[in-house]
């Protein structure tokens, strides 16, 4: 394990402990400018992640959901979602987690996803494979939607777009099973082969970055709806790779 990954794991574990102190303890919820929720736990988690990593790498930059860009413009940028699934967290639902990724230039170098309630931790480094609790993982070998378990993160704005919703219904009709949920945990399920695909619209770089390298190092693919590798377009298709083109065709069908 590299020094960078070791420090990212330690930072995630510290944040995980903070999140569990607030979980199901009625944390006060505020609304940000984009109307998304934030709690004191989100802010404390991001602060401890940045402080922990900065001690080891003081020249590195950070891009976090709560505090934005810090020390931008350098070769190394840490991309942080201190609590992915804040709405779930605030309502006492266990589907939330800590997400940390390191980008070197334009390439992701590592990713960490911690699920505080279960204690599961996913890690990956470029060209070194992906792991769940230290054991190597790989995506499934399901090759058709008719056999696939697909997670779908359905937002109101996505449903209101008639084309998006109509095309997604085609996937609903084809897939063996649809699970309507979304976020870090579902990308982990794809990476370790428990599920076969995850479709998430209207996301940000910090929602995607760690999941992307973990899924890719597990043998899968993660792109936007157009099939490009951008973290910034706001849409995500994560799959075992075998289903990817079929899902993209359905999503982009005229």
- Condensed to tens digits (0 to 9), the pLDDT of residues 188-231 reads 999 999 999 999 888 899 999 999 999 999 999 999 999 998 78
> Do 52 and 167 reside in the same domain of the chain?
no
pLDDT for residue 29: 87
> Do 65 and 91 reside in the same domain of the chain?
yes
Domain count for the chain, please give it: 2
pLDDT band at 164 (very low <50, low <70, confident <90, very high): low
Give a yes or no: residue 34 inside a domain.
Answer: yes
Angle between helix 184-191 and 205-217 (nearest 10): 10
Q: Which domain holds residue 224?
A: 145-251
Give a yes or no: residue 133 inside a domain.
Answer: no
Q: Name the β-bridge partners of 149.
A: 177
The token pair at 119 is: 């204690």
Range from 28-42, 78-92, 105-119 carrying the lowest mean pLDDT: 28-42
Distances (CA, A) of 127 to 1, 21, 69, 109: 13, 36, 27, 9
pLDDT band at 156 (very low <50, low <70, confident <90, very high): low
Could you tell me what percent of the chain has a pLDDT over 90? 71
Q: What is the largest CA-CA distance in the chain?
A: 51
> Do 190 and 220 reside in the same domain of the chain?
yes
Give a yes or no: residue 92 inside a domain.
Answer: yes
Residue 134: Cβ-neighbour burial (10 angstroms; 0-12, 13-18, 19+): exposed
Give a yes or no: residue 198 inside a domain.
Answer: yes
pLDDT for residue 160: 55
The token pair at 52 is: 């922990």
Give a yes or no: residue 135 inside a domain.
Answer: no
> Do 166 and 237 reside in the same domain of the chain?
yes
> Do 9 and 116 reside in the same domain of the chain?
yes
> Do 54 and 103 reside in the same domain of the chain?
yes
Number of helices (H) and strands (E), helices first, in the chain?
A: 8, 15
Give a yes or no: residue 136 inside a domain.
Answer: no
pTM: 0.93
> Taking residues 89-97, what's their average pLDDT?
93
> Do 44 and 119 reside in the same domain of the chain?
yes
């Amino acid at each position: 394990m590299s020094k960078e990954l070791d420090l990212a794991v330690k930072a995630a574990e510290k944040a995980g402990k903070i999140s569990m102190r607030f979980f199901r303890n009625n944390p006060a919820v505020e609304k940000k400018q984009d109307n998304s929720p934030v709690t004191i736990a989100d802010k404390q988690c991001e602060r401890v992640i940045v402080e922990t990593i900065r001690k080891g790498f003081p020249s590195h930059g950070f891009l976090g959901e709560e505090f934005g860009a810090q020390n931008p413009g350098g070769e190394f940028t840490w991309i942080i979602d201190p609590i992915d699934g804040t709405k779930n967290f605030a309502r006492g639902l266990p589907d939330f987690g800590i997400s940390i990724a390191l980008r070197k230039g334009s390439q992701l170098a590592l990713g960490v996803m911690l699920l505080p309630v279960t204690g599961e931790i996913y890690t990956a480094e470029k060209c070194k494979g992906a792991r769940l609790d230290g054991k190597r993982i790989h995506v499934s070998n399901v090759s058709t939607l008719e056999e696939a378990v697909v997670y779908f993160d359905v937002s109101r704005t996505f449903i209101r777009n008639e084309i998006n919703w109509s095309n997604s219904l085609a996937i609903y009709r084809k897939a063996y099973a649809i699970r309507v949920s979304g976020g870090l945990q579902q990308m982990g399920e794809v990476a370790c082969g428990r599920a076969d695909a995850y479709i998430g619209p209207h996301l940000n770089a910090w929602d995607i970055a760690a999941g992307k390298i973990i899924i890719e190092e597990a043998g899968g693919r993660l792109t936007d709806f157009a099939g490009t590798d951008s973290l910034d377009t706001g849409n995500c298709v994560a799959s075992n790779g075998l289903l990817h083109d079929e899902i993209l065709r359905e999503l982009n069908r005229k």
